[in-house]
Structure 1
Amino acid sequence: MGGHDARPDGTEPRNRARRYYEAIDAGDYATLRELLAPSFVHDRPDRTLEGRDRFVRFMREERPRTDTRHTIDGVYANGEDVAVRGRLLDDAGAELFAFVDVFEAVDDGTDEDVVFATLRTYTR
């Protein structure tokens, strides 16, 4: 069944979201790319990034700070879609901002897995 989660507890969708943050924090852009649909769109308060390749390039080469890490405070699944509540911290552990990310998933059309199609970020 590929990456589809037959269990009602949403374990696989929640783990997929955790892998997203782990990949960004580790600079593992190959894994990040695997988690996203080719047409992936990230809608942020400061910009919209359209396309998986554009998003990965931004994360790898253009984001304002790379000395950060994500702390996850809660992950909530609704089917394959996921909402994540967390904080972005600098390398000293100071909070830069809190966020809620809402991921919408789509089957990638293979036996491999479900991937993220869209991400909307809310910050405070």
Structure 2
Amino acid sequence: MDAQDPAEVGDEANGERADREALVRGYYESVDDGDYDRLASLLAPEFVHDRPDRTLSDREAFVSFMREDRPEKDTEHDLTAVYRAVDDDGNGDGDGDGDAAEGWVAHGRLVGADGRVRFEFVDVFALSDDGVTRIETFAREG
């Protein structure tokens, strides 16, 4: 059995990390661009978005809400940080429950077309091989 070069292992981990971060950033890009086909492709079928004002369960319900029912569509997510969550069960999903999802956190602010900040947010993402499985949003008025 051939041993793998430690540098290659590090490169693989960094590549996977970059892919996961790109998935999180792609979520915001697709929402901001109104690219609902891309948005749907990033979400797992069982996707859940838990927001302060409501919970949207399943990919189709969420995409429909974003396309048709959200109060303001001409907005931009101004991200200040995206990072991998760390927790005490060792899988990095941030929840400590031992499941297989990987967790990421995004911090930023939602800016309206008029340039005013609507609110600041922290989104906690659960990611799997199927895409984004869950987002829990914490918000503070801007």
The TM tier, using the shorter chain, reads 0.7 to 0.9
Moved over 3 A (4+): none
**Structure 2 equivalent of residue 61 of structure 1:** 68
Q: Which is helix-richer, 1 or 2?
A: 2
Q: Does 1:6 align with 2:28?
A: no
Q: Which deviations, in whole Å up to 9, do the C-alpha atoms of 1:72-121 show, x marking residues without a partner?
A: 0000024542100000000021100000000101122xxxxxx0101000
Structure 1 residue aligned with 2:24: 17
Give the structure 1 partner of residue 134 of structure 2.
118
Q: CA RMSD in A?
A: 1.5
Residues 36-115 of structure 1 mapped to structure 2, 5 A cutoff: 36-78=43-85, 80-108=102-130, 115=131
The amino acid that maps onto 2:122 is V
Aligned residues: 114
Output the TM-score relative to the length of structure 2: 0.76
Between the two proteins, what is the percent identity of the paired residues? 47
- Larger of the two Rg values belongs to structure: 2
- Which structure 1 residue ranges, 5 or more long, are not aligned? 109-114
**CA apart distance, 1:63:** 0.2
Give the conservation status (yes or no) of the 8 Å contact 1:13–1:81: no
Tell me how far apart the structure 1 counterparts of residues 72 and 113 of structure 2 sit (CA, whole Å). Answer: 10
TM-score normalised by the chain length of structure 1: 0.86
Between 75-84 and 35-44, report the one with greater CA deviation: 75-84
**Do the aligned residues in 2 keep the contact of 1:82 with 1:104 (CA within 8 Å)?**
yes
Gaps of 5+ in 2: 1-10, 86-91, 93-101
